[in-house]
Amino acid sequence: MWHGARDPGLSEIRSRKQHRAYGMGLGIMLVDDVYPGFPGDMRNPSAYPFPIQYDIVRGVGFDELIFAEDKSACLEPVIASARRLEDLGCRAIAAECGYFAYFQREVADAVDVPVFMSSLLQAPLARAVAGAHRTVGLMVAFSGHLTDDHLKAVGIAADGGHPVTGIYESGHCPTLVRLYDEPDPASRHAEYAVVEAELVTLAEEFARQHPDMGAMLLECGAVQPFARAVQRRIDLPVFSWGTLLDYAYSVVVHRDYFGHV
């Protein structure tokens, strides 16, 4: 991101509590696993117009985060990662996978910067703007592993207003499934057009199954590169990690306004 001139509001510099670096943006916690990501993926910062700093949550892979029934062993390394990002100077903290929702409250209580642990945080907002008579569809990676604890932690009411479909369980997305299931990280591979077509097909079917759907929320950190294609097909508001990161950065680094009267 290039700026044409120095911000005249920056007239001095001053140390901030515990900050080791300055001019930072968002800190993103990464699962301790290996897979590639297209621009816009939470693991690929090249498409975002603000600074992103990563930290790996050591010892917490997808098995521990998503599939383990007892997630208590994840809490300490998750909080430690958040604190490292805070100490570095990140102005807000996010996480790459929507299933980090499980730890939203604990992490927010453990640090002194805003915390956005899951794209699912947008569901109550999406429901409010869509209207009580409309549902907000949740497209998630693994519907069978999205629990009431995940939903409660981000304020999603269990009132039937959020139908769920799983990318993994749907049968429509074999390319992403292979990307997750491939045991050799060096062999993980996907073609953009193929993934896009599979996700659009799933989204279209999901929307068709729920004619009262007023918006769709994409949970998975690998899906937002395809959010625009999904929106073109279903013609509904689409919330994703991309929309949440844009919002999170604007909350902590508000833009100025230039114009005329």
The DSSP-derived string for the chain is ---SS--TT-------TT-SSSS--EEEEEES------BTBTT-GGG-SS-EEEEEETT--HIIIII-S--HHHHHHHHHHHHHHHHHT-SEEEESSGGGGGGHHHHHHH-SS-EE--GGGGHHHHHHHH-TTSEEEEEES-GGG--HHHHHHTT--SSS---EEEHHHHSS-HHHHHHHH-S-GGG----HHHHHHHHHHHHHHHHHH-TTEEEEEE--TTTGGGHHHHHHHH-S-EE-HHHHHHHHHHHHSPPP-----
Q: What is the pLDDT of residue 14?
A: 79
Terminal Cα distance for the chain, rounded: 28
Give the contacts of 206 (CB within 8 A, at least 6 positions apart): 137, 139, 163, 165, 213, 216
CATH code for the part of the protein at 120-240: 3.40.50.1860
Distance of CA 159 to the CA centre of its chain: 23
pLDDT bin (cut points 50, 70, 90) of residue 28 is: very high
Give domain limits for the chain. Answer: 26-118+245-252, 120-240
Q: What is the pLDDT of residue 16?
A: 72
Residue 1 has pLDDT above 60, yes or no: no
Residue 111 has pLDDT above 70, yes or no: yes
Q: What is the pLDDT of residue 2?
A: 54
Angle at 63 between CA 57 and CA 64, to 5 degrees: 50
| 19-23, 36-40, 177-181, 217-221: segment of lowest average pLDDT | 19-23
Residue 251 has pLDDT above 80, yes or no: yes
Q: What percent of the chain has pLDDT over 90?
A: 79
Q: What is the mean pLDDT of residues 127-154?
A: 95
More confident position, 89 or 188: 89
Residue 185 has pLDDT above 80, yes or no: no
| 103-107, 154-158, 234-238: segment of lowest average pLDDT | 154-158
Q: What is the mean pLDDT of residues 170-181?
A: 89
Question: Which of the listed CATH numbers 2.60.120.10, 3.50.50.60, 3.40.50.1860, 3.40.190.10 matches domain 26-118+245-252?
Answer: 3.40.50.1860
Strand order in the sheet with 26-31: 52-57, 26-31, 92-95, 115-116
Q: What is the pLDDT of residue 258?
A: 85
Q: What is the pLDDT of residue 15?
A: 77
pLDDT bin (cut points 50, 70, 90) of residue 94 is: very high
* pTM of the predicted protein model: 0.90
Average pLDDT taken over every residue of the chain: 92
